[in-house]
Amino acid sequence: MLYRSRLLVTILVVLAGLSARAPAQVGDAAKWAEIQKAALAEGGELNVTGPPSPALRAALSAAFKARHGITLNYFADTTSAIVARIDEEFKAKKLSIDAHIGGMSTCWLFAARGQLLDINGKLVDPEILKPGVWRTGAPKLTELSATGTGPNDPKCAFQTTEWVYNSVFENTNVVKTPIKSWNDLLRPEFKDKIVSFDVRSSGPGEPPAAYLAKVMGDDYVKKLYVGQNVKFSTDSRQLAEWVARGEASIGIGLVQFAVEIYRRQGLPIAPVIVDDGFGGASTTGGFGCIMLFKNSPHPNAAQVFANWMGTKEAQEIYEKNMSEKSLRTDVDTGDAVPDYVREQPGVKYLINDYVYSWYIGERAEHLKVLTAELPR
């Protein structure tokens, strides 16, 4: 009798261990149907915040309504304004937002404040959980902390995109000698002729600065930003225009949706791709991370939305309007995503900006060293 009890306990423990190592996202058609029904019973509305792209807003709202019959109230704003609003609403226990589409820095910020739901286990739509749908094998759920990388650990966001943030551009009419290494940016001809998104502000100026500091060292970055007297702006369009017009020879921290406005009209602005053995730039998920809030007014609709954002339909809309490469294997909107942000086969990218330990740790240190050298 004692032997049978021990055997039973052992079997149960083994089974429990096996299930602990099993993936947390399991397609469940019945549960999916139930959640969709509950979402409609919540009033047929959903409040989402996200990047300020009118085209994305319009397309997502129309498609989501058509697909699920739920009105998507998409409030586009700057990330800082969204963070401030949600923080105040949370403190007052009057949260009006159900979900957010954004970057991981925002996700970690919300998570640190205890405002996010664990997204692990929220993806149940069988369509998005089929094998072979994602480049990463399964839907990518980002970690909440450096140690939370296990499949059953609480997760911050559902990351739907991943691309290479090649953010250094040149004016091809002005820059006559090709730039083949990062040290070429220190050439005397580029002094006072380099512009960058302000590295002292949160935004696209930080990733290239951190990448260069990692790959080339902090001294190099000081020589570049300080020694070359880099001019800063927090206006992405202004930066791209300066390079396109030749007012600046080189631009750092430029974003593709601003650059392509000029490239597509044939203006002489082109990416600087340096084969430095580390990929030339870090990879990132951009704004393509979906996060769900605790105590939101429409939790079921929010879950439907998170699942829907993983579908081919939603990913095509997102990729086309944001020029960020989807992680789905069956989504390719062609020219909407420029070549220079696509991961190249065979290239090993050293840095993924959306890894917690890098972002909060070494990256932050490099940026601190650089910003200490700049007026503050």
Partner 1 sequence: MATLVIEGRSWAATPRFQLFLGILTLTLVAVVTAAPVALVVVGALEGNLWRSVFIDSTINRSAIAYSFLLALRAPVAAVVGFAIAWLLIRVRVPGSRFIEFALWLTFLVPVLPVTLSWILLLSPSYGLINKIAEMLPFVTSPPFNIYSVGGILWVQMLTSSIPVMVVLLAPALRQLDSSFEEVGRISGAKPFGVFCQVTLPILAPAILTGALAGFIKSLETFEVERLLGQPSGIWVYSTRIYDLVSLEPPNFQAAMSLSTFIMFFLLVIAVAYQRVSSRFDYATILGRGTRLEPMQIGRWRYIMSAALFLLIAISLAFPLFMLTVGSCMKLFGFFTIPSPFSLVHWTEVLNDPLFAKALRNSLVVAGGAGFGGVLIYAGLAQIVRRSRLPGRQMVELLAWLPWSIPGILLGISMLWIILTVPALSAIFYGSLTSLVTIIVIAQMPIGVHMIKTSIGQISRELEQSARVSGAGPFSTFVVIVLPLVSPMLVSIFVIVFISALRDISTTIFLANGNSQTLSLLMMQFALSSNLEGAAVIGVITTSIILVVAVVARHFGLEVFGQR
Q: Which is nearer to partner 1, 125 or 198 (CB)?
A: 198
- Verify binding: residue 131, partner 1, rule CB under 8 A: no
- Verify binding: residue 127, partner 1, rule CB under 8 A: no
- Provide the minimum distance between the beta carbon of 272 and partner 1 in the complex, in angstroms, as a whole number: 20
Q: Which of 36, 166, 167, 236 binds partner 1 (CB under 8 A)?
A: 236
- Verify binding: residue 111, partner 1, rule CB under 8 A: no
Q: Which is nearer to partner 1, 73 or 152 (CB)?
A: 73
Give the 3-state secondary structure of the chain: CHHHHHHHHHHHHHHHHHHHHCCCCCCCHHHHHHHHHHHHHCCCEEEEEECCCHHHHHHHHHHHHHHHCCEEEEEECCHHHHHHHHHHHHHCCCCCCCEEEECHHHHHHHHHCCCECCCCCCCCCHHHHCCCCECCCCCEEEECCCCCCCCCCCEEEEECECEECCCCEEECCCCCCCCCCHHHHHCHHHCCCEEEECCCCCCCCHHHHHHHHHHHCHHHHHHHHHHCCCEEECCHHHHHHHHHHCCCCEEECCCHHHHHHHHCCCCCEEECCCCCCCCCCCEECCCCEEEEECCCCCHHHHHHHHHHCCCHHHHHHHHHHHCCCECECCCCCHHHCCHHHCCCCCCCCCCECCCHHHHHHHHHHHHHHHHHCCCC
Q: Which of 29, 41, 88, 126 binds partner 1 (CB under 8 A)?
A: 88
- Verify binding: residue 105, partner 1, rule CB under 8 A: yes
- Verify binding: residue 187, partner 1, rule CB under 8 A: no
Choices 8-16, 130-138, 149-157, 239-247; region in contact with partner 1 by CB under 8 A: 239-247
Half-sphere exposure in the Cβ direction for 284 (13 Å, CA)? 26
- Verify binding: residue 245, partner 1, rule CB under 8 A: yes
Q: Which of 101, 210, 267, 306 binds partner 1 (CB under 8 A)?
A: 267
Choices 36-44, 149-157, 238-246, 306-314; region in contact with partner 1 by CB under 8 A: 238-246
Q: Which of residues 24-63 bind partner 1 (CB under 8 A)?
A: 47, 51-55, 57-58, 61-62
- Provide the minimum distance between the beta carbon of 104 and partner 1 in the complex, in angstroms, as a whole number: 11
- Verify binding: residue 340, partner 1, rule CB under 8 A: no
| Site size with partner 1, rule: CB under 8 A | 59
- Verify binding: residue 237, partner 1, rule CB under 8 A: yes
Instruction: Please answer whether residues 353 and 366 qualify as being in contact, where contact means their C-beta atoms are separated by less than 8 angstroms.
Output: no
Q: Which of 22, 81, 226, 347 binds partner 1 (CB under 8 A)?
A: 81
- Provide the minimum distance between the beta carbon of 364 and partner 1 in the complex, in angstroms, as a whole number: 12
Interaction site with partner 1 (CB under 8 A): 47, 51-55, 57-58, 61-62, 73-81, 83-85, 87-89, 91-92, 94, 96, 105-106, 109, 195, 198, 200-202, 231-238, 240, 245-247, 255, 257-258, 261-262, 265-267, 375-376
